[in-house]
Structure 1
């Protein structure tokens, strides 16, 4: 499932915010989905979300560039 660029950007920024706030607050225990987990597992989860957002954004950007080049090559002929 492909997400839209603005949604990927918003989710990525929120994930970075959660990650930054967790480093700033530096709790011994964090809560994720109502469960108590180690703060490093919490950070690893948000790092994974950020990485997925960056990957998805790059994929969306590549697809956009491919579609633009296809449109340009078709319009020249």
Structure 2
């Protein structure tokens, strides 16, 4: 599934906020999808979401750079040097 850059950033910020609040609040039991789970599993879940967002952001940037370099004609590229 291809996500847009703003959506990846928004989800990453929300996940970072949820993780930060959980460390600040420091509950013994957290709730995820309506179920009680250990707070470290909750934190691991949000860390995974953050890691996926960072990975997707980097991939989107790489693909954007590749597409931009493909769109520049070779003759223009050589004339710049």
Q: Displaced runs of 4+ in structure 1, greater than 6 A?
A: none
- State the superposition RMSD in angstroms: 1.4
Give TM-score, length-normalised by structure 1.
0.95
Deviations 1:2-42 (A, max 9, x none): 10000000000000000000000000000000000000000
The residue number in structure 2 matching 1:61 is 61
Equivalenced residue count is 77
Q: Which runs of 5+ in 2 are unaligned?
A: none
State how far apart, in whole Å, the 2-side matches of 1:10 and 1:50 are: 11
Q: State the structure with more CA Rg.
A: 2
Q: Which runs of 5+ in 1 are unaligned?
A: none
Question: When the two structures are superposed, what TM-score results if normalisation uses the length of structure 2?
Answer: 0.90
